[in-house]
């Protein structure tokens, strides 16, 4: 068995960060899974073969097959298949090289969540200074995987679970996948996350949709299914500081109110002046039309008693144009102010946003019928 473990130690060289597509996979040296334990001059043992040795032989054989298959898939660029083969190799014999290659293959495949989970598992391997531990089975590359995990955590989000006292939770589904309570905190890809909670009694369901960003941590709070759900306020952005509403929104809202009011006053003033000068122009124009200028007897016309109100017409047109412009400006300012009001006095986006479920459940509670949304 010591020869087997020595060979595993020699095999525990993970794949290089960059592998040429056409490179042939390395061949593994033959392994003596049942080396002789007696000197060459000793007579052969007549004892029956050990069942334990047979099991170890099958485990090592399975490890070699899956490890070689993983190397081949990795060199072909089939990184998800390579990760599966390395995972099966690790299941056969928990050699650190197999688990290290699982994390590497998932990262090359672009699955940051699976790569981070594999890196976390690697860091749980026993330390190499543990008494009696074999070098092939300990975390010999702990620093390398810790650095990898730190890099991966910046690209994924973390979900935690907080269940109120006395609440019975039968099932948790994250993105339509059943997740055990013991698995929390869990890692998820950044973006939309669908959460479905099922209580202990039939019909007790609650659905939420949240948005998470890379590097964030958010807590799923589970209250009584008969109470309104609470929204978590513990989520942090990638900077590690609480994310608050932009400092400019509230001042901009009040500035919008002031500008809209000022524009409305100016609109009312110019509109009133346009009406006044319009009425004055119409009266003077009517006088001009009712009193045409008399003729001087030689084909010419004398100065009219009431000249045409050209100046009054220009004033009317000027105030009318200003009133039209201010109407558009006031409408635009009012619309912007309404948007700012909505943004200012509603919940911040992505802070535990929830989607109302259109599903309803009716259940008999002894004293009446309870409707669950």
- Do the beta carbons of residue 203 and residue 362 sit within 8 Å? yes
d(CA 87, CA 111): 15
- The pLDDT, as a whole number, for residue 38 is 33
- The pLDDT, as a whole number, for residue 107 is 94
Calculate mean pLDDT across residues 31-46: 35
- The pLDDT, as a whole number, for residue 353 is 41
Q: How confident is the model at residue 165 (pLDDT cuts 50, 70, 90)?
A: confident
- Is the pLDDT score of 173 beyond 80? yes
- Do the beta carbons of residue 157 and residue 212 sit within 8 Å? yes
- Is the pLDDT score of 367 beyond 70? no
Q: How many helices (DSSP H) and strands (DSSP E) are in the chain? A: 8, 9
More confident residue, 248 or 300: 248
Structural domain boundaries in the chain: 2-37+51-153, 156-244, 249-344
| 156-244 carries CATH number 2.40.160 | no
- Is the pLDDT score of 230 beyond 80? no
More confident residue, 83 or 347: 83
- Do the beta carbons of residue 206 and residue 197 sit within 8 Å? yes
Non-local (6+) Cβ contacts of 74 within 8 A are: 15, 19, 82, 101, 105, 108
Q: How confident is the model at residue 363 (pLDDT cuts 50, 70, 90)?
A: low
Q: Give the DSSP letter string of 275-317.
A: HHHHHHHHHHHHHHHHSPPPB-SSS-BPPPSS---HHHHHHHH
More confident residue, 222 or 97: 97
Calculate mean pLDDT across residues 217-246: 63
Calculate mean pLDDT across residues 366-372: 47
pLDDT (tens digit per residue) in 192-205: 999 988 887 887 88
Most confident of 16-25, 75-84, 285-294, 359-368: 75-84
Sheet bearing 217-222, strands edge to edge: 186-189, 156-163, 217-222
Calculate mean pLDDT across residues 5-27: 43
- Do the beta carbons of residue 272 and residue 291 sit within 8 Å? no
More confident residue, 357 or 15: 15
CATH number of the domain at 2-37+51-153, please? 1.25.40
Mean pLDDT, the chain, whole residue set: 75
CB atoms within 10 A of CB 304: 13
Lowest-confidence region among 102-116, 160-174, 291-305: 291-305
- The pLDDT, as a whole number, for residue 246 is 56
Question: Secondary structure of 7-52 in the HEC alphabet?
Answer: HHHHHCCCCCCCCCCCCCCCCCCCCCCCCCCCCCCCCCCCCCCCHH
Nearest to 195 by CA among 220, 162, 232, 214: 220
Q: In DSSP terms, which residues pair with 295 in a beta bridge?
A: 301
Nearest to 184 by CA among 200, 202, 169, 165: 169
For the chain, the farthest-separated pair of C-alpha atoms sits apart, in whole angstroms, at 158
């Amino acid at each position: 068995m010591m020869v087997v473990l020595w060979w595993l130690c020699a095999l525990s060289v993970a794949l290089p960060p960059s592998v040429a597509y056409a490179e042939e996979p390395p061949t593994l040296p033959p392994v003596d899974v049942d080396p002789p334990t007696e000197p060459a001059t000793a007579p052969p043992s007549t004892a029956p073969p050990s069942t334990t040795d047979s099991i170890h032989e099958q485990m090592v054989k399975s490890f070699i097959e899956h490890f070689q298959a993983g190397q081949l898939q990795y060199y072909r660029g089939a990184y998800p298949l390579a990760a599966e083969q390395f995972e099966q190799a690790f299941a056969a014999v928990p050699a650190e090289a197999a688990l290290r290659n699982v994390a590497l293959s998932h990262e090359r495949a672009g699955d940051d969540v699976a790569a981070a989970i594999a890196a976390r598992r690697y860091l749980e391997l026993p330390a190499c200074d543990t008494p009696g531990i074999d070098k092939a089975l300990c975390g010999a590359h702990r620093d390398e995987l810790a650095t990898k995990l730190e890099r991966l955590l910046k690209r994924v989000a973390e979900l935690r679970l907080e269940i109120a006292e006395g609440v019975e939770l039968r099932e948790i589904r994250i993105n339509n996948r059943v997740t055990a309570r013991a698995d929390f905190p869990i890692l998820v890809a950044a973006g939309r996350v669908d959460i479905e909670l099922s209580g202990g009694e039939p019909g007790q369901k609650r659905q939420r949709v949240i948005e998470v960003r890379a590097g964030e941590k958010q807590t799923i709070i589970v209250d009584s299914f008969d109470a309104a759900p609470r929204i978590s306020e513990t989520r942090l952005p990638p900077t590690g500081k609480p994310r608050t509403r932009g400092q400019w929104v509230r001042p901009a809202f009040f500035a919008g109110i002031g500008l809209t009011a000022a524009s409305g006053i100016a609109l009312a003033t110019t509109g009133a002046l346009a009406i006044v000068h319009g009425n004055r122009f119409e009266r003077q124009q009517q006088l001009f039309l009712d009193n045409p200028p008399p003729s001087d007897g030689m084909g010419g016309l004398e100065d009219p008693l009431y000249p045409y109100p050209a100046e009054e017409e220009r004033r009317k047109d000027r105030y009318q144009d200003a009133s039209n412009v201010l109407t558009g400006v006031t409408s635009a300012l009012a619309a912007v102010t309404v948007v700012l009001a909505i943004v200012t006095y509603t919940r911040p986006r992505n802070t535990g946003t929830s989607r109302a479920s259109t599903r309803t459940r009716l259940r008999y509670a002894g004293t009446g019928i309870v409707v669950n949304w």
